Amino acid sequence: MRIPFFDMAAELAAVRADVDRAIARVLDSGVFIGGPEVEGFERELAVATGARFAIGTSSGTDALLAIGMALGWRPGVEVVTTPFTFFATVGAIVRLGAVPVFADIDDERMTLDPAAAVDAVGPKTAAVMPVHLFGLRAAHPSVSCVVVEDAAQSIGSGPVRGAAAALSFFPTKNLGAVGDAGAVLTDDPALAERIALVRSHGARPKYHHLVVGGNFRLDAIQAAVLRAKLPHLERWTAARRAHAARYRVAFAAADLAEVKVPVDDPAHAYHQFVIRASARERLRAHLTANGIGTEVYYPELLHHAPALVGIPYRAGACPHAEAACAEVLALPVHPALPRDAPERVVEAVRGFYRG
């Protein structure tokens, strides 16, 4: 039996009737931008995440961009972050003319090392942006500047600790839309108001533009779909954690020195279950041949990206990130995974190393 890396059809099938009703409700209303569905989702998301305010956006990327615009990032200021993340993290910084400053990751958690972040802060630093990678929250750095959380992969792992946190509802996320969608969480009322202004061309009232913003609005169909799925998030997260626990038991029994499992943190939301493995590419080919889906997050560090040529970076400054990039392999952990799948995956991994 194949074990797909992600099974979107199975996840949607479990809530299809609710999603269909939600979409029909929007179509019948004729309100496709803003309106009661977006407002309702924002209220419900704030309650579910423990934030005072949730502001829906058109994507997780645009959530980061709206935060930077609302905080006044401008050309020349610096934002300290990790090179071991998806491109959107640094893309939002660069699009505003700010300069990303890359600090190394913690070798155990693979998230931004708080000590390295503190060392990277300088006179031009406007913010530090830790990324809660794979569902595991990064340690909160002890800095005097603003902290912005890239929480695109970590909904369900805990409350906002910085000035704001950006969420993504890309279809494969723990809470996924049927297209692009995102949100900003914050406990700061002034910042929430500013982000709401920025996401709609900086206009208040309509056609009266107070600032230059963008079109970062969450559309009503995506909001309605997310409202239908949000009540299931806690159950889905529990399923991911249960799969992760079975992986741990199975790997412990296999006793493979070649494999390192992720940090055992009870708040981990397990957007991905990412091991570190020797001979990663050959292991991945072996698993593929055995019908097991995997992914590599991420095969290239951001300071190696051609799009970022010219960004200051000292060679060898992030050795832990370099090492992780060569070893990480994500295994199936989605909620629709069969109960015995972790044991079968681990047996296939053991077969590769032990023959």
**pLDDT over threshold 90, residue 324:** yes
Q: Average of pLDDT values for 211-226?
A: 97
**Per-residue model confidence as pLDDT tens digits over 18-71:** 999 999 999 999 999 999 999 999 999 999 999 999 999 999 999 999 999 999
Whether 131 and 221 map to the same domain: the answer is yes
Q: Are residues 201 and 312 in the same domain?
A: no
Model confidence at 231: pLDDT above 80: yes
Burial class (CB in 10 A: 0-12, 13-18, 19+), 156: buried
Q: Work out the average pLDDT over 228-237.
A: 98
Contacts of residue 71, Cβ cutoff 8 Å, sequence gap at least 6: 126, 127, 146, 148, 163, 191
Average pLDDT over residues 97-113: 98
Judge whether residue 315 has pLDDT over 90.
no
Q: Supply the range of the domain harboring residue 48.
A: 8-102+109-232
Which amino acid is residue 280, in one-letter code? R
- Domain contains 339: yes
Report the percent of the chain where pLDDT is more than 90. 98
The number of domains in the chain is 2
Q: Which residues contact 226 (CB under 8 A, 6 or more apart)?
A: 41, 45, 169, 175, 177, 181
Tell me which residue of 290, 285, 177 sits closest to 226, measured CA to CA: 177
Within-domain flag for 1: no
Q: Is residue 344 part of a domain?
A: yes
What is the distance between the alpha carbons of residues 216 and 196, in angstroms, rounded to a whole number? 9
Q: Looking at 183, 201, 232, which one is the last position of a domain?
A: 232
342 within a domain of the structure (yes/no): yes
Tokens of 81: 């972050």
Residues 240 and 222 in one domain: no
**92 with 120, same domain?**
yes
Report the percentage of the chain scoring pLDDT > 70: 100
Instruction: Tell me the torsion sign for CA atoms 165, 301, 81, 124.
Output: negative
Single out the residue in 199, 232, 265 at which a domain terminates: 232
CATH code at 278? 3.90.1150.10
CATH number at residue 47: 3.40.640.10
Mean pLDDT of 79-103: 98
Maximal C-alpha separation, the chain: 69
What are the CA-CA distances from residue 254 to residues 121, 331, 337 (Å)? 43, 16, 21
Distance (Å, whole) CA 243 – CA 340: 9
Per the prediction, the chain carries an average pLDDT of 97
Q: Does a structural domain hold residue 96?
A: yes
Residue 1 confidence class, pLDDT cut points 50, 70, 90: confident
